[in-house]
Structure 1
Amino acid sequence: MERMGIGLQLFTLRDALAEDFEGTLRKVAAMGYEGVEFAGYGDFEAEKLRDLLQELNLKAIGSHVSLENLENNLDNEIAYLKTIGGKYVICPWLPADARDAEAWLGHLENFKRYGKHVTEAGLQFAYHNHEFEFEVEIDGQMVFDAMYDRINSTDLKVEMDIGWVQYSGLDPLAYIGKYAGRLPLLHLKDFRNGHKGEPIDTVELGRGDLPLMAIIEAASKAGTEWLIVEQDRCANPPLESVAESMEWVKANYKK
């Protein structure tokens, strides 16, 4: 199995970060995470955050960047990410009122533009899915697939959230294989009762229904660079949840 880095999507710790951004990053590093994916920077100046990450031996994987900032602040987002050593600019979410087929056609044109700009700046642009990308079709094709068919692989990479793929009724292993070579980032998460029409519990790794070890093996074969732990909601204190998930990784993912 090819070695993949183990990262954390910091949205999971949004409340702790709001209270103590630096202290929370120190706790994440102490747990053994190798990289972090940002969803905001806690008002840190880029140079200060770069130095803190270097001190903690944490890599900046990339950042989730809002649709508004992609459209209106992309150059500043690129500059910040370059300063802290990150590689990926990622669109994480679309508002509920902008997800019909007509709206998606506009998004895809914008994604082409953002992707080209990000690529020319020396970084990579990616999209992070939820379930709604599998619920709308463009010309008879699910939006998720249409997006990657219509935008070239240089300008748009896949950040696959594997929990939402399974929730949508699709085979997560088949979808990983389908995007082999274009899938540098995979959100590794676990759902209990994680199927359409059932109530979802987002749980620590190993407590849910996803075939995690098969997913990890498939991701390795697909050329994934980073497995990124994310838990949308935590029944337990989030710092405890991400620590437990990291212990599962240490016990099960042989480096």
Structure 2
Amino acid sequence: MNRRNFLYSSGMLAAASALSANAAPLIGHAHGVTPGIQLYMMRDDMAKDVAGTLKKLGAMGYRQLESYGSDKGIFWGMKNTEFQKLAEGYGLKLVSTHHNPMSLTEFEQTAAQAAEIGMKYLVCPWLGPQKHIDFFKHAADDFNTRGAICKKHGLRYAYHPHDYPYKPVDGQLPINVLLANTDKELVDYQMDVYYTVTEGQDPYAYLKNHKGRFKLMHLRDVLKHRLPKGSEEESACDMGEGIINFPKLLSAAQDSGVTYFFVEQSRYYHETPLQSARKNAVYLKASPPAP
């Protein structure tokens, strides 16, 4: 049994036991969760037809967008004001974006552009696996610097951990080092519950023990049984088709201070990204109370 399968059969199931509830539909907009979507999920459609894709997402019921550093930039080849106007025409608002590596000068320019159109967050999406924990301590210093730049412009800065921050480095979890060494007045976090669960960690514990630090969340489900080893995102699935009790999780997330929620699926089963987006939007809008 390799390490990933071991994590799945032991740690992941332990972390997920509190989450499972036969995939009941989650809390909807009426309960305070405004449906959002990360545009990386729609990257192929956006590359072909920005306006048409945004129109479809708005019609599905999404109301908030998170962009990323695409080949056309975070504003998809437009001025910041042009993109926001286009999105708002379809009932959508760009509230955050993941950004590519950039100098502090470039970062400040991006922060100014984001602030001009009322965005709320710039998010670092990637640091990568590292051999020494000191790397993450230095990254925390950089986050604090960028957080101060964002604060100056009326924005917030955040970090999005993938799987590697939950893997020990020099006997410590990088996510814990980052949380401990970043200024809570300057740096927030975006939990991707998929990675928290698949790495055998407890999302409820992180929300509780670091209340107010996680302000954004990525939403996708975790299959009970893995796909064949080596397949991309081998346990990701659409919301409601896996082991996560989203009504309970979303309620706990809101109680801990999470404000922005974005669907982000990266594995598609006999469906297109747009079909997956629609399925997740329907699930978000089905809104029984949390148990």
Q: Deviations over 1:10-58 (max 9, x none)?
A: 1111111111112111111110011000113221111211211222221
- Does 2:109 align with 1:80? no
Determine the structure 1 residue equivalent to 2:44: 15
Could you tell me which amino acid in structure 2 is paired with residue 12 of structure 1?
A: M
Task: Give 1:194 deviation, angstroms.
Answer: 7.5
Normalising by structure 2, report the TM-score: 0.79
- Does 2:161 align with 1:125? no
Task: Give 1:203 deviation, angstroms.
Answer: 1.3
- Contact between 1:173 and 1:214, CA under 8 Å: does it hold in 2? no
Determine the structure 1 residue equivalent to 2:179: 148
Could you tell me which amino acid in structure 2 is paired with residue 252 of structure 1?
A: S
- Contact between 1:87 and 1:124, CA under 8 Å: does it hold in 2? yes
- Does 2:230 align with 1:230? no
- Contact between 1:59 and 1:85, CA under 8 Å: does it hold in 2? no
- Contact between 1:29 and 1:57, CA under 8 Å: does it hold in 2? yes
Runs of 4+ displaced beyond 4 Å: none
- Contact between 1:159 and 1:186, CA under 8 Å: does it hold in 2? yes
Deviates more, 1:113-122 or 1:103-112: 103-112
Taking the TM superposition and a 5 Å limit, the aligned residue runs for 1:39-50 are 39=68, 40-50=74-84
- Contact between 2:84 and 2:93, CA under 8 Å: does it hold in 1? no
Task: Give 1:149 deviation, angstroms.
Answer: 1.2
- Contact between 2:133 and 2:172, CA under 8 Å: does it hold in 1? no
Task: Give 1:213 deviation, angstroms.
Answer: 1.6
Q: Distance in 1 between matches of 2:260 and 2:254?
A: 9
State the superposition RMSD in angstroms.
Answer: 2.3
Change (3 A) 1:59 1:70: farther
Determine the structure 1 residue equivalent to 2:136: 104
- Contact between 2:97 and 2:123, CA under 8 Å: does it hold in 1? yes
Q: Which of 76, 92, 103 is the equivalent residue of 2:125?
A: 92
Task: Give 1:165 deviation, angstroms.
Answer: 0.3
- Contact between 2:112 and 2:153, CA under 8 Å: does it hold in 1? no
Work out the percentage of aligned pairs sharing the same amino acid. 26
User: Matched residue of 1:115: which SS?
Assistant: helix
Deviates more, 1:26-35 or 1:230-239: 230-239
- Does 2:284 align with 1:249? yes
Could you tell me which amino acid in structure 2 is paired with residue 171 of structure 1?
A: D
Q: Distance in 1 between matches of 2:60 and 2:98?
A: 22
Which structure is higher in RCO with an 8 Å CA cutoff and minimum separation 6?
2
Task: Give 1:180 deviation, angstroms.
Answer: 2.0
Unaligned runs of 5+ in 1: none
User: Matched residue of 1:158: which SS?
Assistant: strand
- Contact between 1:204 and 1:241, CA under 8 Å: does it hold in 2? yes
Normalising by structure 1, report the TM-score: 0.90
- Contact between 2:37 and 2:263, CA under 8 Å: does it hold in 1? yes
Unaligned runs of 5+ in 2: 1-26, 69-73
- Contact between 2:66 and 2:97, CA under 8 Å: does it hold in 1? yes
Q: Distance in 2 between matches of 1:99 and 1:15?
A: 34
